Amino acid sequence: MIYIDQPVSTGFSPGNITVNDEHDVATQFMGFWKNFIETFAMQGYKVYVTGESYAGQYIPYIASAMLDAEDEIYYNVKGVNIMDPSINDDSILMYTPALPALKKYQSVIGINDTYMAVLEETALTCGYTDYYAEYFNIFPPKGPLPPGPDYRHFCPFLWDELGFPSLGTGPNNYFNRTVINAPPTDYFICGGGPNLFPHHDKSVPSALGPLPSVIERTNNTIISHGDLDFLLFTEGTLTTIQNMTWNGLQGFQSAPPATDNLFVPYHQSLGEIQEYVNGAIPHSPAFTDTAGSGLQGKWHTERGLTFPVPCVPPKVKSSTKGIKISHNA
């Protein structure tokens, strides 16, 4: 497995080549990748491209460019996996499904009734409630989705050592430590130099661009989403899938999950947690692990696209007035 900091100026990648859109990203990546293959004599190796979050833009464009090259010596793409991906407009991925996700986890988050009423009124006023009822969780889809409601007011940024998820504050110096075996850098998570999209990313969201074609040409594409992500939501990703047309049909024709169990291998950190519990050592450092194992849900495949389902989505029934939604226990 090879981890790559890209585009230029992100992470530890040096340079100041300008990146205006995803075509620039793909062109620069392919140049690097060909040199990498030649350097380590990896000609003809099968290539599986994967990434998370904004790599939902990068990966489909890179994979599409590699497939366009029709060169299996250097760009032998056999599969793609994008996780919690940014593949559509934020109104679909983030804003519209936010309140339903909050209600789903209300027993954990514990919003009081007064503030919940304010949030419900805000979602209704902004158009999210009606849009969600009309276009989310429809299998098969009724047709192309119109643009989602837009909203441009945000809560204050949070503080974090890495600057994430706030992106706006915190010291952001964790990866600037001298003990790291890497060239000095002014590291900032999800950040880059002034050469990186100086006028914003000019490419369309990948779900409206190359992603359907990548699915068709690999017939081995995975789009996965974790339910603990409260920035990009599972239902936003699934609704985006329902707006894509690939291999002759639009979206999934039946609602996930299928009957196939999603098994996650057991991992060492579970044993470490058990040692902490059994040892009961005073003043031990905090240890957290949100990675599950064992049977963690289901997975659903249609026409070359697989969508792991971490939980059972709402059941949907059509009606003359729109849709009715009921949740399983």
Q: Residue 86 corresponds to which tokens in the numbers above?
A: 């940014």
In this structure, what DSSP letter does residue 150 have?
Answer: -
Q: What is the mean pLDDT of residues 210-232?
A: 94
Answer whether residue 2 is part of any domain: no
The closest alpha carbon to 228, from 123, 110, 109, belongs to 109
> 6 in a domain, yes or no?
no
21 contacts 4 by C-beta, under 8 angstroms: no
Could you tell me which residue, 294 or 175, shows the higher pLDDT? Answer: 294
pLDDT digits (tens, 9 = 90+) for 52-71: 999 999 999 999 999 999 99
Return d(Cα 147, Cα 168) in angstroms, integer: 28
Which of 13-27, 32-46, 100-114, 166-180 comes out lowest in average pLDDT? Answer: 166-180
pLDDT band, residue 328 (cuts 50/70/90): very low
Q: Above 50 in pLDDT, residue 226?
A: yes
Partnered with residue 144 across adjacent β-strands are none
Mean pLDDT lowest among 134-148, 184-198, 209-223, 246-260:
184-198
Q: Is 13 inside any structural domain?
A: no
Compare 288 and 309 and report the one with higher pLDDT. Answer: 309
What's the whole-number average pLDDT of the chain?
84
**Which pTM does this prediction carry?**
0.81
How high is the pLDDT of residue 44?
96
pLDDT, one tens digit per residue, over 230-277 is: 899 999 999 999 999 999 999 999 998 766 888 888 777 666 766 766
pLDDT of residue 327: 35
Domain of residue 206, residue span: 22-326
Q: How much of the chain exceeds pLDDT 90, in percent?
A: 58
Residue 69 lies in a domain: yes
Closest CA to 227 of 288, 294, 291: 291
Q: Does residue 288 have a pLDDT over 70?
A: no
H/E stretch holding 65 reads helix 55-69
- The verdict on residue 16 lying in a domain is no
Confidence (pLDDT) at 215:
98
Contact 326, 314 (CB under 8 A): yes
Tell me if 50 is assigned to some domain.
yes
Q: Can you say whether the dihedral through the CA atoms of 257, 258, 261, 267 is positive or negative?
A: negative
Position 259 scores a pLDDT of 66
Closest by CA to 200, choosing from 19, 54, 29, 69, is 19
CA 207 to chain centre: 12
Between 189 and 169, name the one with better pLDDT: 189
pLDDT, residue 12, reads 83
Q: Is residue 60 part of a domain?
A: yes
Q: What is the pLDDT of residue 211?
A: 98
Number of domains in the chain: 1
Q: Among 6-10, 26-30, 122-126, 243-247, whose mean pLDDT is lowest?
A: 6-10
For residue 260, the model assigns a pLDDT of 81
pLDDT at residue number 265? 82
In a domain, 57, yes or no: yes
- Residue 324: both structure tokens together: 């009715």
